[in-house]
Amino acid sequence: MKITNEFEVKSPIDVVWDAFQDVPTVAECLPGASISEDKGGNVYAGAVEVKLGPMSSKFEGEAKISPDQPTRSGHIEGKGVDRSGGSRGQVDVDYRLADAGGSTRVFVDADIKLTGAIAQFGRTGLVEEISKRLIDEFVYCLHAKLAAETPQEAAEIKAGEVKGFSLFLAGLTSWIGKFFKRLFKRGGE
Amino acid sequence: MTTTADQSPHLHTPPEIGGVGHSVRRHEDDRFIQGAGNYVDDVELPGMLHMAILRSPVAHAKILSIDTSEAAAVDGVVAVVTGELMAEHNLAWMPTLSGDTQAVLATDKVRFQGQEVAAVVATDPYVARDALGLIFVDYEELPAITSPQQSLAEGAVLIRDDKEDQTDNLAYEWESGDKAVTDQAFAEAAKIVTLETHYPRSHPSPLETCGAVADVNPASGQVTIYMTSQAPHAHRTVFALVAGLPEQNIRIISPDIGGGFGNKVPVYPGYVIATAASLLIGKPVKWVESRTENLISTGFARDYHMKGELALNNEGRILGLRTEIWSDQGAFFADAQPTKFKAGLFHIVTGSYDYPAAHVVARGAYTNKAPGGVAYRCSFRVTEASYMIERLVQNAAYEIGMDPAEFRALNFIKPEQFPYHSPTGFVYDSGDYEGAMRKALGIVDYESLRKEQVTARAEGRLLGIGMASFTEVVGAGNSQEYDILGLKMFDSAELRVHPTGKAILKLGVKSQGQGHETTFAQIVAEELGIPAGDIKVLEGDTDNTPYGLGTYASRSTPVAGAATAIISRTLREKARKIAAHLLEASAADLDWEPGKFFVKGSPDQSVTIQDVAFAAYTNPPPEEEPGLEGVHYYDPPNMTYPFGTYVVVVEVDAETGEWKVDRMIAVDDCGVRINPMIVDGQIMGGLTEGFAAATNQFITFDDDGNCIGSSFMDYLVPTAWETPRFELDETVTPSPHHPIGAKGVGESATVGSPAAYVNAVIDALAHLGVRNIDMPLLPDRVWSAIQDAEGG
């Protein structure tokens, strides 16, 4: 599953770049993510917890981050196994920062490969919706952190409680919303 | 051998006896509607343990290691079973009902998502399930193959590297008919009509999932297995062969079964693991699947990629048929097939039509998907065959500019041609195809509808009239041609009349909801005059019923029903001798009417069947063996060939691609109807399943082999809300070789209806040039077909 996303952060490119190098901070902005160990060499052990309706998955594994300072871009490779739920996940992310006149545009290309129970929700497109919601939440949190006036304030900002039923509902609402948009668009033609 | 079409059933028995033709209320429903059925999951035995199965999350991977230590340490866990442990007992692999092998627990590789990798046995079902999360399996992933095209392509990864002689992914190649004659017919054709389509993978999805309670007594060696089995006797023999256990010590009990539809024919690894676990631990072990486990790992159906061609002459007569099939079998060829016929009875694809030439080639491919190909409510691939020919003839009619009904009428096998020898080797027993079609067309007022269609098109509305005039081949089957693993496909009935005139009938088949306890009692009532309500029907206990091959392929009525009628007649002849003894008359001088014998010409000198039964135990004739019981094993002389015509009227919304059924008319001819109410119920159920297939039901896989359709959120089962209203009618053409003229009806509607629904949608779009949309006809597919046709 390929997800392409683009968003703008209202901070200068160097500030955003530095924030991206602070892996624990980045993790704080990803709902359900946690870092358990810095293994050195830009390799981190940790977990990502996702709840999808009645299904809860905790992917435990490692991520390797390869930043490229001159081009303000980077590559993240992660993989995790959810043993109790019988799912596996693998993610390859390419990101790139671009100066946008005092703001920064961030381009993300993610290739997510899920296998097992979590990949079996097919037709409804819920997994795609939820991935997009996760990115929205990430951007929102990152904004807040970068806009914080003191480092202490920034440290207190974490990704919202997007776990559990709310995430499922958000995905569902967004999906239903699209359906109605399509419907009205058709009606209006 | 025809035909008594249009006649209401002639009843030989009064309602209080309730023989053939009476809509007797289902005896079994007393317990079902009170929630007092007894299913496998209801079985509780002292000291019983619970088993859960760890399944592969990936479709294709080498197993590098399995670490069970954490799971084994959990409080309440009694044992963790792996393939390695099973291999020590020579049980890591088992034979399948189609002569292949299947992994019980994976040792080398996993070959589909959902494959059994390990099992936990614990004192509590939740502990067992939770402990699965503590088993760590290290997989090295391999490319997943998810279609026959990929599987049979040059250089594809070998899926079955466990099999010594297997060098590619071909499971089998099979053909039927005469290629040379058929090629000649095509060379002489004025027109050739081609259809390529995919019959998607579907799942029988019975309400009750599969499961077993295995109880091995370590002292006596007695093995009792309660299991969801449509074929308990065949399964007992397989268990004896797989586990090397003495067959007299194995008792399979199939209690009430909550729907089977072919899903409960194969032997699943779970049954074997539970039995092995009980054997090793010495306590009863229960295993019951979850819904998702049932949907992702047990017997799929269909998944046929088909190409069909019809050769036509200038007058619209069919000269010949050619079909080529690529079957997606999944990782193991595990469905039951008659040994001789690798593609099941797909060669019935010539359908209801008369032409001399046909040739069928079928190739089965191994893929990284769950083992599939079970006969989902059909007689071994008859559904795919019926779908192919009925779609083809409809398209052929468009191509030569004939009305689809008149094209069928021109090409139908005529009533006087029966018994009809088909070009692929079947001998059709009886039929009046045009009679059934004309009746259906009359009900729907076909001529007016065609006029209305013209008007509707002028107004921009898309009205479609589709039909299917299907022929099935059911009731496998005669022992010369039909066997499974060498076991001939006969079936049996054992009847014992008690001293008070009540009776018990024991059968080798097994009801999963079809109403056997009622209909088989009615056959005895018809033949012996004992009220149907006085007859208990026992099935599904191998220690207490005669041997039989089970219930699937619409074979219960054609085979076990025939055995029941014959043993009833045999007992009636014995009863006649006892009656003669009681009436002090000669047996030849007695007349029979249902329920009593009387002296010819003296109706007042009579004895009832109940009097006779009592005498059989209290006052038998000196020259006769006491008692009134017997068993009959019935080897059918031929298959039976139910048929019918279904007509569907739809309206398609050109803007959205959505379509709705305005009318659905089903005229079925299943020969003599034993219980018309149950027959109607069977037909409505099948029409609903056909509707599901045509509208929205399929299981797909992504490129990594993830099974999309693992819950009822993605695999949609229609409710009463979506299901259209059905209008049912009948014609009656008895089977000439069946003792009561019945043909079997459990599957006709699933077999015949998908093509009727699809043909209706195609008919609505035919003027645009649309000739195919693959099932299910989701609105986006229909919409795209309209766009492509209009754009092109």
Optimal mutation site among B69, B137, B713, interface A, most CBs of chain A within 10 A: B713
> B646 with B627, same domain?
no
Nearest CA of chain B to the CA of A168: how many Å?
A: 14
Residue A183 confidence (pLDDT): 54
CATH of the domain at B686: 3.30.365.10
Residue A177 confidence (pLDDT): 63
Establish if B652 belongs to a structural domain.
Answer: yes
Give the A window 67-106 contacts with B, CB below 8 Å.
83-88
Q: B656 to chain A: nearest residue by CA?
A: A186
CA–CA separation, B97 and B489 (whole Å): 13
Buried b vs exposed e over B11-31: b needs ≥16 C-beta within 10 Å?
A: eebeeebbbbbbbbbbbbeee
Q: Which of A37, A61, A28, A57 is nearest to A47 (CA)?
A: A61
Strands in A87-100's sheet, in edge-to-edge order, are A2-9, A103-116, A87-100, A73-82, A55-68, A43-52, A33-40
Each residue's pLDDT tens digit, B184-235: 999 999 999 999 999 999 999 999 999 999 999 999 999 999 999 999 999 9
Nearest CA of chain A to the CA of B137: how many Å?
A: 9
Tell whether the model's pLDDT for residue A152 goes beyond 90.
no
The percentage of chain B sitting over the pLDDT mark of 90, rounded to a whole number, equals: 94
Tell whether the model's pLDDT for residue B654 goes beyond 90.
yes
Q: Is the ipTM of this complex over 0.85?
A: no
Tell whether the model's pLDDT for residue A59 goes beyond 80.
yes
CA–CA separation, B229 and B234 (whole Å): 10
Q: Which of B713, B704, B710, B712 is nearest to B297 (CA)?
A: B710
* Beta carbons of B57 and A87 less than 8 Å apart: yes
CA–CA separation, A67 and B81 (whole Å): 45
Establish if B616 belongs to a structural domain.
Answer: yes
| pLDDT interval class at A3 (50, 70, 90) | confident
Residue B524 confidence (pLDDT): 98
CA–CA separation, B288 and B271 (whole Å): 9
Residues 6+ apart with CB under 8 A from A70: none
| pLDDT interval class at B595 (50, 70, 90) | very high
Set of chain B residues whose Cβ sits within 8 Å of the Cβ of A88: 57-58
Q: Which two tokens stand for residue B550?
A: 């089970």
**Which is the catalytic residue, given B378, B555, B689, B697?**
B378
CA–CA separation, A166 and A184 (whole Å): 26
Q: Which of B634, B661, B684 is the last residue of a domain?
A: B634
Each residue's pLDDT tens digit, B531-550: 999 999 999 999 999 999 99
Residue A11 confidence (pLDDT): 86
Strand partners, B214: B225, B285
Give the B window 639-668 contacts with A, CB below 8 Å.
655-656
Residue A169 confidence (pLDDT): 55
Tell whether the model's pLDDT for residue A123 goes beyond 90.
no
- Is the Cβ of A24 closer than 8 Å to some Cβ of chain B? no
* Beta carbons of A120 and B714 less than 8 Å apart: yes
Three-class secondary structure of residue B293 per DSSP: helix
CA–CA separation, B463 and B455 (whole Å): 10
Q: Which of B258, B230, B377, B229 is nearest to B682 (CA)?
A: B377
Give the B window 395-434 contacts with A, CB below 8 Å.
none
Tell whether the model's pLDDT for residue B4 goes beyond 60.
no
Nearest CA of chain A to the CA of B292: how many Å?
A: 9
- Is the Cβ of B119 closer than 8 Å to some Cβ of chain A? no
Q: Which of B549, B533, B197 is nearest to B339 (CA)?
A: B549
DSSP code, position B208: S
Nearest CA of chain B to the CA of A83: how many Å?
A: 5
The label of the residue with tokens 């004025």 reads B190
Q: A57 to chain B: nearest residue by CA?
A: B133
Q: A53 to chain B: nearest residue by CA?
A: B713
Nearest CA of chain A to the CA of B214: how many Å?
A: 26
Average pLDDT score over residue span B103-126:
97
Residue B306 confidence (pLDDT): 98
- DSSP string computed for B130-175: HHHTT-EEEEEE-----SHHHHTSTTPPPS-TTSTT--SSEEEEEE
- Mean pLDDT, chain B, integer: 95
Q: Where are the strands (E) in B501-609, listed by range?
A: 503-507, 535-538, 590-593, 596-599, 602-608
Tell whether the model's pLDDT for residue A186 goes beyond 70.
no
Residues B234, B297, B54: CA angle, nearest 5 degrees: 105
CA–CA separation, B737 and B559 (whole Å): 11
| pLDDT interval class at A99 (50, 70, 90) | very high
* Beta carbons of B713 and A84 less than 8 Å apart: no
The answer to whether the beta carbons of residues B677 and B655 sit under 8 Å apart is no
Q: Which of A33, A4, A28 is nearest to A112 (CA)?
A: A4
* Beta carbons of A120 and B700 less than 8 Å apart: no
**Which is the catalytic residue, given B230, B512, B610, B697?**
B230
Q: A186 to chain B: nearest residue by CA?
A: B655
User: Which domain, by its residues, includes A135?
Assistant: 2-187
| pLDDT interval class at A176 (50, 70, 90) | low
Classify residue B684 as exposed, middle or buried by CB count within 10 Å of its CB (0-12, 13-18, 19+).
middle
Q: Which of B534, B542, B545, B475 is nearest to B507 (CA)?
A: B545
* Beta carbons of A120 and B706 less than 8 Å apart: yes
The percentage of chain B sitting over the pLDDT mark of 70, rounded to a whole number, equals: 99
Tell whether the model's pLDDT for residue B618 goes beyond 50.
yes
CATH of the domain at B108: 3.90.1170.50
Q: Does the active-site annotation cover B377?
A: yes
Q: A83 to chain B: nearest residue by CA?
A: B133
* Beta carbons of A120 and B709 less than 8 Å apart: yes
Distance of CA B622 to the CA centre of its chain: 48
Tell whether the model's pLDDT for residue A172 goes beyond 70.
no
Optimal mutation site among B704, B707, B715, B778, interface A, most CBs of chain A within 10 A: B704
Tell whether the model's pLDDT for residue B110 goes beyond 70.
yes
Q: Does the active-site annotation cover B670?
A: no
DSSP code, position B556: I
Q: Which of B706, B658, B713, B695 is nearest to A171 (CA)?
A: B713
> B451 with B534, same domain?
no
- Is the Cβ of B706 closer than 8 Å to some Cβ of chain A? yes
Higher pLDDT: B409 or A185? It is B409
* Beta carbons of A86 and B132 less than 8 Å apart: yes
Minimum mean pLDDT range among A81-90, B343-352, B474-483, B505-514: A81-90
Each residue's pLDDT tens digit, B151-177: 999 999 999 999 999 999 999 999 999
CA–CA separation, B375 and B750 (whole Å): 11
Q: B128 to chain A: nearest residue by CA?
A: A84
Classify residue B95 as exposed, middle or buried by CB count within 10 Å of its CB (0-12, 13-18, 19+).
middle
- Is the Cβ of B61 closer than 8 Å to some Cβ of chain A? no
CA–CA separation, B602 and B589 (whole Å): 10
- Is the Cβ of B68 closer than 8 Å to some Cβ of chain A? no
> B753 with B617, same domain?
no
Q: Which of A38, A36, A60, A37 is nearest to A48 (CA)?
A: A60
CB pairs under 8 A between A and B: 61
Tell whether the model's pLDDT for residue B1 goes beyond 60.
no
* Beta carbons of A86 and B57 less than 8 Å apart: yes
Residue type, B384: E
Q: How far is CA B661 from CA A146, B125, B386, B694, B697, in A?
A: 58, 45, 21, 11, 16
Nearest CA of chain B to the CA of A59: how many Å?
A: 12
Q: Does the active-site annotation cover B378?
A: yes
The answer to whether the beta carbons of residues B491 and B509 sit under 8 Å apart is yes
Optimal mutation site among A83, A88, A189, interface B, most CBs of chain B within 10 A: A83
- Is the Cβ of A185 closer than 8 Å to some Cβ of chain B? no
Tell whether the model's pLDDT for residue A134 goes beyond 80.
no
Strand partners, B596: B593, B608
Residue A160 confidence (pLDDT): 64
User: Which domain, by its residues, includes B586?
Assistant: 29-37+491-634
* Beta carbons of A117 and B710 less than 8 Å apart: yes
Q: Which of B704, B707, B709 sits opposite A113 (nearest CB)?
A: B704
* Beta carbons of A122 and B708 less than 8 Å apart: yes
Residue B3 confidence (pLDDT): 35
Residue A188 confidence (pLDDT): 40
Minimum mean pLDDT range among A88-92, A166-170, B23-27, B116-120: A166-170
Tell whether the model's pLDDT for residue A162 goes beyond 80.
no
- Is the Cβ of B786 closer than 8 Å to some Cβ of chain A? no
Minimum mean pLDDT range among A46-60, A85-99, B656-670: A46-60
| pLDDT interval class at A26 (50, 70, 90) | confident
Domain total for chain A?
A: 1
Tell whether the model's pLDDT for residue A171 goes beyond 80.
no
Q: Which of B634, B656, B672 is the last residue of a domain?
A: B634
Q: Which two tokens stand for residue A108?
A: 């993300």
Nearest CA of chain A to the CA of B93: how many Å?
A: 23
Q: A122 to chain B: nearest residue by CA?
A: B708
Residue type, B694: A
Q: Which CB contacts under 8 angstroms, 24+ apart, belong to B691-694?
A: B691/B661, B691/B664, B691/B718, B691/B722, B691/B723, B691/B724, B691/B753, B691/B757, B692/B716, B692/B717, B692/B718, B693/B200, B693/B202, B693/B754, B693/B775, B693/B776, B694/B753, B694/B754, B694/B757, B694/B758, B694/B775, B694/B776, B694/B777
Tell whether the model's pLDDT for residue B305 goes beyond 90.
yes
Nearest CA of chain A to the CA of B290: how many Å?
A: 13
- DSSP string computed for B609-671: HHHHHHHHHHS--TTSPSS-EEEEEE--SS-B--EEEEEEEEEE-TTT--EEEEEEEEEEE-B
Minimum mean pLDDT range among A81-95, B324-338, B669-683: A81-95
* Beta carbons of A124 and B714 less than 8 Å apart: yes
| pLDDT interval class at B365 (50, 70, 90) | very high
* Beta carbons of B132 and A117 less than 8 Å apart: no
CATH of the domain at A139: 3.30.530.20
Residue A175 confidence (pLDDT): 58
Establish if B158 belongs to a structural domain.
Answer: no
Optimal mutation site among B55, B70, B127, B706, interface A, most CBs of chain A within 10 A: B706
Residues 6+ apart with CB under 8 A from B70: B134, B135, B136
Tell whether the model's pLDDT for residue A184 goes beyond 60.
no
Residue A181 confidence (pLDDT): 62
Nearest CA of chain A to the CA of B248: how many Å?
A: 40
The H or E element spanning position B436 is: helix B433-444
Tell whether the model's pLDDT for residue B105 goes beyond 90.
yes
Residue A189 confidence (pLDDT): 39
**Which is the catalytic residue, given B26, B236, B377, B663?**
B377
Tell whether the model's pLDDT for residue B557 goes beyond 70.
yes
Residue A161 confidence (pLDDT): 46
Q: Which of B348, B379, B361 is nearest to B305 (CA)?
A: B361
| pLDDT interval class at A20 (50, 70, 90) | confident
Domain total for chain B?
A: 3
Residue B9 confidence (pLDDT): 57
The label of the residue with tokens 């194969």 reads B266
Average pLDDT score over residue span B768-791:
96
Optimal mutation site among A123, A128, A175, A189, interface B, most CBs of chain B within 10 A: A123
Residue B707 confidence (pLDDT): 93
> B372 with B384, same domain?
yes
Establish if B207 belongs to a structural domain.
Answer: no
DSSP-derived pairing of the beta strands B61-67 and B136-141: antiparallel
Higher pLDDT: A87 or B755? It is B755
The pTM is what? 0.93
Q: Does the active-site annotation cover B251?
A: no
Residue B201 confidence (pLDDT): 96
Set of chain B residues whose Cβ sits within 8 Å of the Cβ of A61: none
Each residue's pLDDT tens digit, B46-92: 999 999 999 999 999 999 999 999 999 999 999 999 999 999 999 99
The answer to whether the beta carbons of residues B758 and B466 sit under 8 Å apart is yes
Residue A180 confidence (pLDDT): 59
Three-class secondary structure of residue B458 per DSSP: helix
